[in-house]
Structure 1
């Protein structure tokens, strides 16, 4: 990974969301005068990449009606596949509007991400050029946002996809979503922090708070403490797949019980816009319904189309289908509106809210009572945090904590990523999420090693599958912390040295084949000018950044040698 270039005029941040996506930017000059002067834009349209977000949904609906769907790919909620597929990247992607996923290899996802990035690059240039400014590619520092709980492989995958779009490595940063939101809220005035008491100051040194990023796919949690030079993490990042689409999935099951899965598939094929309209209505409801709703919740529905397909396939209209369903007394149709019992909708939030509350509880428990009582604030960000029910459930469960929802909670990550691009050093330290190390063969020691692991290599007894620890889980590492290890070639004219890299949740693993250990990739060091002599190498693992970095050196020369850490 190349050293980040400091020569830039603009920071452009891209947020690939599960539900919503967008990009934002600010100039270096504007940042110095007013950090919050950030332009956010969601107009995506360029070249072969036809459209993105809502525009893509509308476009695809028109394409289906025109019978041209076989000429296009429609990707939906692909981001979650990067979270779910932690080891292998044979990714399952939703094609068209079918709930069943078709198998596609990583290259298709990578192409999708790179095309999107390229689209944004071209779109971003338009308003800049309109201002009469000419900029070069090297004038832009790019930032991609990812959940803090993503694997190192998923982060590297995003980086390589951006590289395919023409974004150089030394102009790209990976930002962790809850960290970006935390940075954004540091710059917000008190009046834009809903739930904050008068006089509360997030920027006061020593202040500790939890960031809960409730997005479409995941809920992502970290805990920060304000220090003189910025923010430090005091608990390793955690989270799970309990974002807003959990509500969508439960709502989908209601319609499965009403119409049946086969008829829903027909609906999506014949008029996808009608299907999309239903779930867009649900998005609005998710933000407005709260625990005080006692009677009914009303949503607009494509009544004419629902009646049409119900009569054709079920031989009765939509209202009659409801009358014959388990929801007879919980739903009623009035013209082009569907009125649903409030408890039916509120119950959709039960499982995700319980999971989010458990994640918050677990994160507080990880503090081992050291800071538990001192973490008095829960900062809710992300689109799903706009839900009144989610807010109310968290407030009820943690009455002694102050729950704060910033203005534009759904844009906190995106705008914070721009700020992170300008000052990546603001996160001064992080907590390591795993124990990292490599597999190696030390000299066999009968008092330490398992006799069954003894082998003889070149007349030397060695232990196979030993875990050489670089850094242990829950260690606090400052930005740019360096850990050096010595390695050596094992044969004459050796051109490279490679080591399998492992991670585990254990504090002190002995062997790489223990149950909790996971092989995450391979470290490869090129040997300059191979010879018959054995060569010593220094490997420097750099921690504290959002990504794992590795640099190799020849001990005899002190020169940096070509190093690759392949995690995909």
Structure 2
């Protein structure tokens, strides 16, 4: 795709992409009309009634090279047609790879011969091409006129968001030369909140109301609490708590079920084939899981094949008339509760944080969205646990579509959410005056320059974790660049840190999260010690952090560009230290 150089207002269509762990969806809306977003509900080799397509890649192995030959439903069909031996020797299936962008998830090591970013790029490329062709056929507007909203979990780090942006560029959704705002990253619970606020009119949210969004998907569960405000411009939302979550979505229930099923046969020294185990786990996920209420036994219809027809005394496996019985107590204890209890703890944590800010304010509603929200058992447990802490607990109509629809609303009105809470503590590494009352403990950081005693590797804070920042608000600090030596010239690079917890005094034990570069402002004739002021501004209002550095009347704008393997140390000819606020 060629670079787009025109203004953002020239784009005619907004496209939302809900890239999910297990399924992905797409919706779109023309900027020119007031119609509701339209959902793309048919994908290549579409099966069943679900309107999303599986987030699955199928690669053909050619030596060490992998070429993607199918995706979505098509990849599943191709795999079903292959023998297990052929599949393992000639092909590679990748699924649930989105989970590997959660730095806190406990997952097996990534062993594929491609990176996670490449797997995401490969899927998004074919997914987007398919979606764009359908949109072009329906509204006769070419994809060069599209802007995009791509959803990401609120709990993701800035680096994970950066990976998604780069994957979208690699997939050709936008080009590296486009205005970065042509692609807007939207947090999944925020998109879901906008969907609920717009569509759940029966709950009649009013000025001062507070509600919690629990976006429970296949892989991740994300939560945020919002306050509602009403003005002449309409209704707006502001974050009360910073979004957080965990990788505890419904696929982990499927994994628990597969373990229970495998153990049932292993207890009688019988090994169920892996392909059959996967088939039964999938059948459980679609046919039985949504209907489990906590006190009802479930019976899984078994396929007729040689494995089951050859079983001796099938009753010992609780198989009767071609169906396998799973008792409610076993399903609760071994399949559902290990996952549901994590979701309940996440909700409780968010409610506690919101209550700590205002104990007198009661939660008006808890909305459950995402595919996992269709679970009758999850809904009943949430109501049972929190009915005294919220006036209403509900799942909106079509909860699995809340994020993909809500992302369109976010793109059409990006200022609907007026304030957000920062996810982490952000700052930069600087050189500052040596404080003898504190810094004496770190003599290794002390040095003298031009008659001053300075301390290197100090942390300069821009935002605390959980700090509420208004839309379009920026935080600005002024610093001084000091020329150290004659002659040599290079860009000035300094390191940005994103940490959990309180700001540290030093950055010596921190891993740099990103870097920002500005061109060398000094000439070869500038003497050592010459100072130039630089203004650094951080914009935290959107899902990604934007930074502006202004030096000598020139402003350099960037989103955080993550350092790939470089040390992030200060350039040898420039020093960076605090200056007075202007």
Shorter-chain TM-score range:
0.7 to 0.9
Contact 1:216–1:244, Cα closer than 8 Å, also in 2: yes
Per-residue deviation, 1:561: 7.0
Contact 2:254–2:284, Cα closer than 8 Å, also in 1: no
Question: Counterpart in 1 of 2:518?
Answer: 525
Question: Counterpart in 2 of 1:208?
Answer: 210
Q: In 2, Cα distance between the equivalents of 1:420 and 1:174?
A: 10
Question: Counterpart in 1 of 2:193?
Answer: 182
Contact 2:262–2:277, Cα closer than 8 Å, also in 1: no
Name the SS of the counterpart of 2:118 in structure 1: helix
Is 2:134 the counterpart of 1:127? yes
Select 1:464's aligned residue among 450, 453, 456: 456
Question: Counterpart in 2 of 1:417?
Answer: 407
CA 1:559–1:406 in 2, change beyond 3 Å: closer, same or farther? Answer: closer
Question: Counterpart in 1 of 2:383?
Answer: 395
CA 1:182–1:277 in 2, change beyond 3 Å: closer, same or farther? Answer: same
Per-residue deviation, 1:383: 0.7
Q: Superposed, which structure 2 residues align to 1:43-192 within 5 Å?
A: 43-44=43-44, 49-64=68-83, 67=86, 69-84=88-103, 102-104=110-112, 108-131=115-138, 133-137=140-144, 139-166=145-172, 167-168=174-175, 169-190=180-201
Question: Counterpart in 1 of 2:343?
Answer: 356
Q: In 2, Cα distance between the equivalents of 1:132 and 1:436?
A: 43
CA 1:277–1:23 in 2, change beyond 3 Å: closer, same or farther? Answer: farther
Q: In 1, Cα distance between the equivalents of 2:6 and 2:561?
A: 15
Is 2:545 the counterpart of 1:548? yes
Contact 2:547–2:557, Cα closer than 8 Å, also in 1: no
Q: Superposed, which structure 2 residues align to 1:155-304 within 5 Å?
A: 155-166=161-172, 167-168=174-175, 169-190=180-201, 200-202=203-205, 204-228=206-230, 230-260=236-266, 267-268=273-274, 272=275, 275-293=278-296, 296-304=297-305
CA 1:541–1:509 in 2, change beyond 3 Å: closer, same or farther? Answer: same
Given the two structures, how large is their TM-score scaled by the length of structure 2?
Answer: 0.81
Name the SS of the counterpart of 1:367 in structure 2: helix
Q: In 2, Cα distance between the equivalents of 1:211 and 1:307?
A: 44
Question: Counterpart in 2 of 1:455?
Answer: 446
Q: In 2, Cα distance between the equivalents of 1:340 and 1:446?
A: 69
Name the SS of the counterpart of 1:369 in structure 2: helix
Contact 2:476–2:535, Cα closer than 8 Å, also in 1: yes
CA 1:429–1:208 in 2, change beyond 3 Å: closer, same or farther? Answer: same
Contact 1:44–1:119, Cα closer than 8 Å, also in 2: no
Name the SS of the counterpart of 2:547 in structure 1: strand
Q: In 2, Cα distance between the equivalents of 1:51 and 1:429?
A: 42
Q: In 2, Cα distance between the equivalents of 1:57 and 1:150?
A: 28
| Structure 1 unpaired stretches of 5+ | 93-99, 192-199, 312-316, 324-330
CA 1:509–1:235 in 2, change beyond 3 Å: closer, same or farther? Answer: same
Question: Counterpart in 2 of 1:565?
Answer: 561
| Structure 2 unpaired stretches of 5+ | 46-56, 59-66, 565-582
- 1:537-565 per-residue CA deviation (whole Å, 9 max, x = no partner) reads 222211111011112221x2334377863
Name the SS of the counterpart of 2:9 in structure 1: coil
Q: In 2, Cα distance between the equivalents of 1:319 and 1:26?
A: 58
Say how many residue pairs are matched.
518
CA 1:225–1:350 in 2, change beyond 3 Å: closer, same or farther? Answer: same
Given the two structures, how large is their TM-score scaled by the length of structure 1?
Answer: 0.83
Q: In 2, Cα distance between the equivalents of 1:425 and 1:542?
A: 14
Question: Counterpart in 2 of 1:338?
Answer: 324
Question: Counterpart in 2 of 1:194?
Answer: none
Contact 1:379–1:404, Cα closer than 8 Å, also in 2: yes
Contact 1:231–1:428, Cα closer than 8 Å, also in 2: yes
517-526 vs 470-479, which deviates more? 517-526
Contact 1:438–1:468, Cα closer than 8 Å, also in 2: yes
Moved over 4 A (4+): 44-49, 263-266, 561-564
Measured on the aligned residues, the alpha-carbon RMSD in Å equals: 3.0
Name the SS of the counterpart of 1:205 in structure 2: coil
Q: Superposed, which structure 2 residues align to 1:413-452 within 5 Å?
A: 413-452=403-442
Contact 2:545–2:559, Cα closer than 8 Å, also in 1: no
- 1:514-554 per-residue CA deviation (whole Å, 9 max, x = no partner) reads 6xx55322233232574343443222211111011112221
Is 2:44 the counterpart of 1:38? no
Contact 2:98–2:120, Cα closer than 8 Å, also in 1: no
Q: In 2, Cα distance between the equivalents of 1:468 and 1:51?
A: 49
Per-residue deviation, 1:62: 1.8
396-405 vs 497-506, which deviates more? 497-506
Is 2:476 the counterpart of 1:484? yes
Contact 1:23–1:42, Cα closer than 8 Å, also in 2: no
Per-residue deviation, 1:305: 4.2
Question: Counterpart in 1 of 2:50?
Answer: none
